[in-house]
Amino acid sequence: MLRRLLAAVLAGLLTLVAISPPAQARTPPAEAACAGVWVAVDGSALDGGATATKCATAFDTGTDALTSAGFEVRRGNGMICAIDGLPATCRVTTQAYWSYWQAARNADGSHGPWVYAQLGPDSYQPKQGDAEGWAFGAGEPPDVRPPEDKASASPSTAATPSPSGTPAPTPAGTPTGLLLTAGLLVVGALAAGGWWWRTRRGA
């Protein structure tokens, strides 16, 4: 009887290991990186307009960053009045104009809130890693955020490894966890079988 019990337990363990799925490696999401500054343009308030975020590798001024990122610029009365051909009528009013914004990069690669520019794009000098923003309307900030640039984030923000000699916990459902559970089942089955056998012999 004991042999049959052990055989049944072992057969169950083999089945469990056979059907358990292999551990899947988690592929980290692609991280966007920009060696210069991000330029976010929000033209969603215009007919045919949209939002777009691109990387500028030349950024001596805000205007340089805008054109280096691949946006086409048109001027009227010395001001940028159209980006990528929008609006079709290059005219600046207090209710309809391209407002200019900046967002500083945080240590973790994200960016802070949009801050209205205190200087014009021809006078402002962006810092590498920061973001430039443009939004058409009455002075509202862009409704778009630059990607997190974790590739250039500060090394101090990296995850702290486990102390030396302390093994990382094994997630439930992994093959190691299943084998541990199986081992406990075997020990329990042997103990139960031994108790049953002693009870039978003493009867």
More confident residue, 121 or 20: 121
User: 185 lies in which domain range?
Assistant: 172-203
Residues 45 and 79 placed together within one structural domain of the fold: yes
Q: What is the DSSP string of 56-115?
A: ES--SSHHHHHHHTT--EEEETTEEEEETTBSSS----SSSEEEEEEEPBPTTS-B---E
Whether residue 97 is contained in a domain is answered as yes
Helix (H, G, I), strand (E, B) or coil at 12: helix
Helix (H, G, I), strand (E, B) or coil at 120: coil
Residues 144 and 181 placed together within one structural domain of the fold: no
Whether residue 26 is contained in a domain is answered as no
Residues 99 and 187 placed together within one structural domain of the fold: no
Is residue 147 scored above 60 in pLDDT? Answer: yes
Give whole-number Cα distances, 79 to 22, 34, 97, in Å.
60, 27, 10
Whether residue 186 is contained in a domain is answered as yes
The lowest-confidence range among 33-42, 62-71, 83-92, 140-149 is: 140-149
Is residue 25 scored above 70 in pLDDT? Answer: no
Whether residue 139 is contained in a domain is answered as yes
Residues 115 and 187 placed together within one structural domain of the fold: no
Residues 119 and 182 placed together within one structural domain of the fold: no
In 3D space, the residue among 86, 92, 99, 82 whose CA is nearest the CA of residue 141 turns out to be 99
Q: How many domains does the chain have?
A: 2
Residues 65 and 140 placed together within one structural domain of the fold: yes
Whether residue 137 is contained in a domain is answered as yes
Q: What confidence score (pLDDT) does residue 8 get?
A: 55
Q: State the pLDDT confidence band at 183, using cuts at 50, 70 and 90.
A: low
Whether residue 4 is contained in a domain is answered as no
Look over the chain and give the mean of its residue pLDDT values, rounded to a whole number.
75
Contact 13, 20 (CB under 8 A): no
Q: What confidence score (pLDDT) does residue 187 get?
A: 53
Whether residue 25 is contained in a domain is answered as no
Query: Among residues of the chain, what percentage have pLDDT more than 70?
Result: 58
Q: What value does the mean pLDDT take over residues 119-127?
A: 97
Whether residue 68 is contained in a domain is answered as yes
Q: What confidence score (pLDDT) does residue 161 get?
A: 43
Residues 65 and 97 placed together within one structural domain of the fold: yes
Residues 147 and 181 placed together within one structural domain of the fold: no
Residues 141 and 61 placed together within one structural domain of the fold: yes
- Cβ neighbors of 145 (< 8 A, separation 6 or more) are 40, 53, 111
The tokens of 52 are what? 């777009």
Q: What confidence score (pLDDT) does residue 33 get?
A: 85
More confident residue, 4 or 43: 43
Is residue 132 scored above 60 in pLDDT? Answer: yes
Residues 101 and 201 placed together within one structural domain of the fold: no
CATH of the domain at 71: 2.170.130.30
Q: Residue 22 carries which side chain, given as an amino acid letter?
A: P
Residues 107 and 136 placed together within one structural domain of the fold: yes
In 3D space, the residue among 63, 69, 64 whose CA is nearest the CA of residue 34 turns out to be 69
Q: State the pLDDT confidence band at 13, using cuts at 50, 70 and 90.
A: very low
Residues 146 and 183 placed together within one structural domain of the fold: no
Query: Among residues of the chain, what percentage have pLDDT more than 90?
Result: 52
Q: What value does the mean pLDDT take over residues 156-162?
A: 38
